[in-house]
C-alpha cells in the first residue's frame, strides 16, 4: 500500500511538471522509483508506461499543434538505439546501472542548468541522427529520452503549444516501443499494472493542475528547480 501511495503522489508532481514544461515526467519519477521499487528494470518500465500514458492525454488534446515533420526523422534512430540499449542493460549489474544512472543525471542537470537555450544547433541529417540515437540510449537505459529531443525542438519550434504537443507525441510513440522492448527482456513484474493504475491517476491529476496553471507559471523557473534537485540525486546515486 505504501508503494502505491508513493507512486500516486510522485506522479501528481511529475504530471504537473510535464504539462508546464513540456517534458520531465521520466526525469522526476526516476529520481525516486529506484529507491523503493524491486529493481531498476521495473523502475524504467513503470516510468516509461506512465510517461507515455500521461503524454497521450496532452497529445490528444493538442493534436492539431503536433509538428510531424519535426518528429518523424528522429524516431527511427531512436527506436533502433533504444532496442540495443535495453538489450545491453538487461545484462548489467544493479551497481553498474546505478552509477551510470547517477552520471547521466548529473550530466543532464549541468547541461540544462547552464547551457539550455544558449546554443543553437544545425538542422541537418547528421544532427537528427545523433540526437535521435542519443535519446534512444537515454530512453532505453534511463527512461529519460527527452533532453536530446528537447534540445532539437527548442531550436526549431517557436510556438509554445506546438512545442509541448510535439514533445508529447514523441513520448507516446517512443514509449510504446520501449515498453515492448522491456517486456521482451523481463522488466515487467507481477505488480506493474497495479502500480501503473495508481500512477496514471496521479499523473492525470498533475496534468490537469498543470493545465490550469500553464499560463501563470514560469516554466524555466520550474525546470531549474527540478534540475537542481536532479543534480543532487545524481551525485547521491554515484556514491
| Cα atoms found within 13 Å of the Cα of residue 178, Cβ hemisphere only | 36
Domain that holds residue 97: 2-238
Q: Bigger pLDDT: 208 or 109?
A: 208
Q: CB of 209 within 8 A of CB of 117?
A: no
Alpha carbons 36 and 164: distance in angstroms, whole number: 30
SS3 string, 48-93, reads HHHHHHHHHHHHHHCHHHCCHHHHHHHHHHHHHHHHHHHHHHCCCC
Looking at residue 11, its pLDDT comes to 94
Residue 59's pLDDT band (boundaries 50, 70, 90)?
confident
pLDDT band, very low/low/confident/very high, at 193 (cuts 50, 70, 90) = very high
State the Cα–Cα distance between residues 58 and 38, nearest whole angstrom.
Answer: 30
Whole-angstrom CA distances from 214 to 18, 205, 211 are: 10, 14, 5
Is residue 227 pLDDT above 60, yes or no? yes
pLDDT of 198 higher than 90 = yes
pLDDT bracket for residue 4 (50, 70, 90): very high
How many domains are contained in the chain? 1
Considering Cα of 11, then 16, then 22, then 27, what sign does the dihedral take?
A: negative
Q: Please, where are the H alpha helices in 115-145?
A: 125-142
Quick one: CA dihedral 49, 220, 19, 236, positive or negative? positive
Q: Tens of pLDDT along 62-109? A: 888 888 888 887 888 999 999 998 988 877 776 777 777 777 777 777
Measure Cα distances from 49 to 95, 97, 176, 188 in Å: 24, 20, 8, 10
Given this model, what pLDDT does residue 110 score? Answer: 77
**Residue burial 193-209, b: 16+ Cβ < 10 Å; e: rest:** eebbebbbbbbbebbeb
Q: Which range among 2-6, 22-26, 90-94, 223-227 has the greatest average pLDDT?
A: 2-6
Amino acid at each position: 500500500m505504501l508503494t502505491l501511495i508513493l507512486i500516486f503522489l510522485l506522479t501528481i508532481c511529475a504530471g504537473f511538471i510535464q504539462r508546464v514544461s513540456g517534458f520531465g515526467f521520466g526525469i522526476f519519477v526516476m529520481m525516486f522509483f529506484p529507491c523503493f521499487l524491486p529493481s531498476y528494470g521495473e523502475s524504467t518500465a513503470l516510468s516509461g508506461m506512465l510517461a507515455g500514458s500521461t503524454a497521450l492525454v496532452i497529445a490528444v488534446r493538442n493534436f492539431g499543434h503536433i509538428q510531424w515533420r519535426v518528429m518523424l526523422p528522429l524516431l527511427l534512430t531512436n527506436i533502433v538505439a533504444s532496442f540495443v540499449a535495453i538489450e545491453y542493460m538487461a545484462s548489467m549489474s544493479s551497481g553498474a546501472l546505478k552509477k551510470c544512472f547517477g552520471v547521466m543525471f548529473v550530466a543532464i542537470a549541468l547541461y540544462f542548468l547552464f547551457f539550455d537555450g544558449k546554443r543553437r544547433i544545425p538542422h541537418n541529417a547528421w544532427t537528427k541522427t545523433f540526437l535521435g540515437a542519443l535519446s534512444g540510449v537515454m530512453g532505453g537505459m534511463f527512461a529519460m529520452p527527452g533532453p536530446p529531443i528537447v534540445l532539437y525542438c527548442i531550436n526549431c519550434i517557436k510556438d509554445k503549444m506546438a512545442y509541448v504537443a510535439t514533445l508529447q507525441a514523441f513520448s507516446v510513440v517512443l514509449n510504446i516501443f520501449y515498453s515492448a522492448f522491456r517486456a521482451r527482456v523481463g522488466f515487467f513484474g507481477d505488480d506493474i499494472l497495479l502500480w501503473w493504475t495508481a500512477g496514471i491517476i496521479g499523473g492525470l491529476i498533475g496534468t490537469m493542475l498543470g493545465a490550469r496553471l500553464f499560463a501563470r507559471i514560469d516554466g524555466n523557473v520550474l525546470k531549474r528547480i527540478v534540475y537542481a534537485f536532479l543534480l543532487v540525486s545524481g551525485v547521491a546515486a554515484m556514491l
